[in-house]
């Protein structure tokens, strides 16, 4: 279960005072809460590509080198998408008898060759892109919505979203689709459930309007998804075989998008939000659930990432991993099933640049950046109410000669850099410099897939448009280098 832009601090059990995620809190009581769980990137597409490949974006190609250290993703004019060479989690599971379904947002490319059914999924209900729009179908087409390998409509046309009132039944459709899939499988299955109602502009269905104490569409949408997660877990619990044999993991693709102000979640005490490699951009709410195997009501401070789910799932299912490529994935079985701690390195990337490294209790920043000053002055702020001198910088700042060091247990909010003349700094910094240098010299970057854009590849005539009489004329192809503003 992968949320979109949900923040660490949104989870009641992580300390949100209103505690409006009762079902997720119950899930954590029945399983293991991860306090130090990370995504692979502070943006949707790269983190999703990493979840499904077990590899950092720098390896699987979900980055740009058009500009140094800039975030990139898959808008509808992107030419690139997931490479055929990558072996996705569902591909390996399918080879071993699993039935795989994705419900929600794909975001690994929308051209025909990138669709989920070409990459290991048997079923798809959702969209390849964010629910942006509406558009005029002349300068930009409305985004297609898919059932399996063909479109069944477009956002704002057949798939209704009332953008002004922030209302849609889409999350309810996703909940029903998940429950229907779970209850009709005879073979082992993998469900990738990834609703996007928490991504601005957020939306919720009518019964949830005003249901949250935040009195925001985001808060209502969170209540709706929390209730849906409760229903999905109940479906599993009602069938003894399913309950004994189903591993469920809950997390989010990146931190709360604080830039969206009132239409965003909370990162609790963490610094900044989505788009940044500070903790608010990449540390996620996370829960592992498997009542017959994971000890109940446990809290793990293990630092781990979304990519670890890849190796963990193949360890649990006893399926061998490919040996012809590098992975950024640890087996979390000893953590999940015995509450042990393993030694892990966390690498924080922004585009083509390794920004920071965490190992154990310390995190070291080798580069810092929020967004360019001229953009910040227009009101785009990834760190509202957060200003840490020399840390939340509006220039890409190189600290490789004197890295910034934080203690993540004493100071998870990255407020107090450890002084460079202190005994503590001097005794630990070399370890992080070595990790940084070693990772860079050992990592062979994949070909960047998010460099090129072209209006001709937008959702003019997706597969299935003929049957619906919804094909739009495709403009002439004119590839250009995508502009990544931050
Ligand atoms: Ca996201």
Q: What is the largest CA-CA distance in the chain?
A: 70
Which of 10, 84, 99, 6 lies closest to 47 in space, CA to CA?
A: 6
- Name the β-bridge partners of 192: 102
Query: Which strands sit side by side in the sheet containing 362-365, from one edge to the other?
Result: 345-350, 353-359, 362-365, 404-407
**Average per-residue pLDDT for the chain:** 98
Distance in Å, CA 410 to ligand 1 centroid: 28
Tokens, residue 68: 């140094």
Looking at the structure, tell me whether residues 210 and 128 fall in a common domain.
yes
Distances (CA, A) of 231 to 106, 202, 225, 478: 23, 21, 10, 47
358 with 241, same domain: the answer is no
Cα–Cα dist 283/331, whole Å: 19
End residue of a domain, out of 300, 320, 344: 344
Domain harbouring 378, CATH code: 3.30.1120.10
Give pLDDT tens digits for 388-440: 999 999 999 999 999 999 999 999 999 999 999 999 999 999 999 999 999 99
Whether 357 contacts 364, CB under 8 Å: yes
pLDDT digits (tens, 9 = 90+) for 93-131: 999 999 999 999 999 999 999 999 999 999 999 999 999
- 408 and 334: one domain? no
Q: Is residue 292 part of a domain?
A: yes
Together in a domain, 325 and 388: no
Burial of 158 (0-12, 13-18, 19+ CB in 10 A): middle
Is residue 354 within 8 Å of 364, Cβ to Cβ?
Answer: no
At 188-243, the pLDDT tens digits run: 999 999 999 999 999 999 999 999 999 899 999 999 999 999 999 999 999 999 99
d(CA 48, CA 116): 12
Distance CA 398, CA 166 (A): 41
311 and 417 part of one domain: no
Q: In the listed set 344, 361, 395, which residue is the last one of a domain according to the structure?
A: 344
Could you tell me if residue 134 is inside a domain? yes
Residues 408, 283 within the same domain: no
The gap from C-alpha 228 to its chain's centroid, in whole angstroms, comes to 19
CA of 310 to the centre of ligand 1 (A): 19
Instruction: Answer yes or no: do 62 and 139 share one domain.
Output: yes
Rounded Cα–Cα distance for residues 431 and 70 (Å):
27
Picking from 344, 366, 383, the residue at the C-terminal end of a domain is 344
Q: Are residues 142 and 191 in the same domain?
A: yes
Q: Is the pTM of this model over 0.85?
A: yes
Residue-wise pLDDT tens digits, 138-155 = 999 999 999 999 999 999
* Centre of ligand 1 from the C-alpha of residue 109, in Å: 15
Q: What is the CATH number of the domain that holds 89?
A: 3.40.720.10
Q: How far is the CA of 63 from the centre of ligand 1 (A)?
A: 15
Looking at the fold, whether 311 and 427 belong to one and the same domain comes out as no
**Counted domains in the chain:** 2
The whole domain housing 82 covers 2-344
The tens digit of pLDDT for each residue in 297-348 reads: 999 999 999 999 999 999 999 999 999 999 999 999 999 999 999 999 999 9
Strands (E), 383-425: 397-398, 404-407
CA nearest to 5, candidates 52, 51, 53, 39: 39
Ligand 1 centroid to Cα of residue 162, in Å, is 21
315 shares a domain with 400: no
Check whether residue 249 and residue 107 sit in a common domain.
yes
Rounded to whole angstroms, the Cα distance separating 68 from 78 reads 19
Please say whether the beta carbons of 458 and 76 come within 8 A. Answer: yes
Mind telling me the catalytic residues? 44, 107
> 268 with 416, same domain?
no
Whether residue 46 lies inside any domain: the answer is yes
By the 8 A CB rule, do 335 and 304 touch?
A: yes
Judge whether 39 lies within some domain: yes
């Amino acid at each position: 279960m992968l949320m979109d832009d949900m923040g660490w601090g949104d989870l009641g059990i992580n300390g949100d005072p209103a505690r409006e995620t009762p079902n997720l809190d119950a899930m954590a009581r029945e399983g293991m809460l991860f306090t130090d769980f990370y995504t692979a990137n502070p943006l949707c597409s790269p983190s999703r590509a990493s979840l499904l490949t077990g590899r950092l974006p720098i390896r699987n190609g979900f980055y740009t080198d058009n500009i140094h250290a800039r975030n990139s993703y898959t808008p509808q004019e992107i030419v690139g998408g997931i490479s055929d060479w990558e072996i996705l989690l569902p591909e390996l599971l399918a080879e071993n008898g699993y039935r795989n379904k994705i419900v929600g947002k794909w975001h690994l490319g929308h051209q025909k060759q990138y669709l989920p059914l070409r990459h290991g999924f048997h079923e798809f209900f959702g969209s390849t892109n964010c629910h942006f729009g509406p558009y005029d179908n002349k300068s930009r087409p409305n985004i297609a919505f898919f059932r399996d390998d063909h479109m069944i409509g477009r956002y704002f046309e057949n798939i209704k979203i009332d953008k002004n009132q922030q209302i849609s039944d889409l999350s309810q459709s996703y909940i029903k689709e998940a429950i229907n899939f779970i209850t009709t499988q005879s073979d082992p299955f993998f469900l990738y459930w990834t609703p996007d109602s928490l991504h601005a502009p957020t939306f919720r269905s009518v019964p949830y309007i005003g249901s949250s104490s935040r009195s925001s569409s985001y808060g209502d949408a969170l209540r709706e998804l929390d209730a849906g997660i409760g229903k999905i877990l109940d479906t599993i619990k009602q069938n003894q075989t399913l309950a004994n044999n189903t591993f469920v993991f809950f997390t989010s693709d990146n931190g709360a998008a604080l830039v969206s102000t009132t239409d965003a979640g909370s990162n609790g005490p963490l610094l900044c939000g989505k788009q940044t490699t500070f903790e608010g951009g990449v540390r996620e709410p996370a829960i592992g659930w498997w009542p017959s195997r994971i000890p109940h009501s446990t809290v793990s401070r293990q630092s781990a990432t979304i990519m670890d789910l890849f190796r963990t799932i193949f360890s649990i299912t006893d399926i061998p991993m490919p040996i012809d490529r590098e992975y950024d994935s640890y087996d979390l079985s000893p953590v999940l099933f015995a509450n042990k701690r393993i030694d892990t390195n966390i690498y924080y990337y922004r585009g083509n640049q390794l920004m920071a490294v965490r190992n154990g209790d310390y995190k070291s920043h080798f580069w810092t950046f929020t967004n360019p000053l001229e953009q910040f002055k227009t009101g785009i702020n990834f760190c509202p109410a957060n200003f840490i001198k020399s840390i939340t910088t509006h220039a890409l700042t190189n600290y490789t000669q004197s890295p910034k060091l934080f203690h993540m247990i004493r100071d998870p909010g990255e407020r107090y850099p450890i002084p460079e003349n202190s005994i503590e700094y001097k005794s630990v910094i070399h370890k992080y410099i070595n990790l940084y240098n070693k990772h860079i010299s050992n990592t062979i970057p994949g070909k960047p897939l998010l460099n090129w854009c072209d209006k001709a590849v937008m959702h003019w005539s997706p597969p299935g448009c003929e049957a619906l009489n919804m094909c739009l004329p495709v403009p002439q192809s004119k590839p250009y280098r995508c502009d990544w503003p931050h």
